[in-house]
Amino acid sequence: MSATVPSIGELFARTRAENRAALVGYLPAGYPDKATSIEAVEAMIDGGVDLVEVGLPYSDPVMDGPVIQAAVVQALESGMRVRDVFDVVRASAARVPTVVMTSWNPVERFGADAFAEALATAGGSGLITPDITPDEAGAWMDASKAHGLDRIFLVAPSSTDARIAMTAESSSGFLYATAVMGVTGARAATSSAAPVLVERVRQVNDIPVGVGLGISNGAQAAEVATYADAVIVGSALVRALGDGGVDAVRELAKELRSGMERA
pLDDT above 70: percentage of residues in the chain: 92
Give SS3 for 218: helix
Query: In angstroms, what CA-CA distances link 57 with 7, 82, 107, 112, 114?
Result: 25, 8, 12, 17, 18
With contact defined as beta carbons under 8 Å apart, do 120 and 148 qualify?
yes
Residues 5-44 pLDDT 10s: 999 999 999 999 999 999 999 999 999 999 999 999 999 9
> What's the pLDDT band for 4 if we cut at 50, 70, 90?
confident
Determine the CATH number of domain 8-262. 3.20.20.70
Residues 198-236 pLDDT 10s: 999 999 999 999 998 789 999 999 999 999 999 999 999
Residues 96-142 pLDDT 10s: 999 999 999 999 999 999 999 999 999 999 999 999 999 999 999 99
Rounded distance, CA 57 to CA 52, Å?
15
Query: In angstroms, what CA-CA distances link 112 with 89, 115, 140, 158, 212?
Result: 17, 5, 6, 29, 26
Residues labelled catalytic = 53, 64
Q: Where are the domains of the chain?
A: 8-262
With contact defined as beta carbons under 8 Å apart, do 108 and 63 qualify?
no
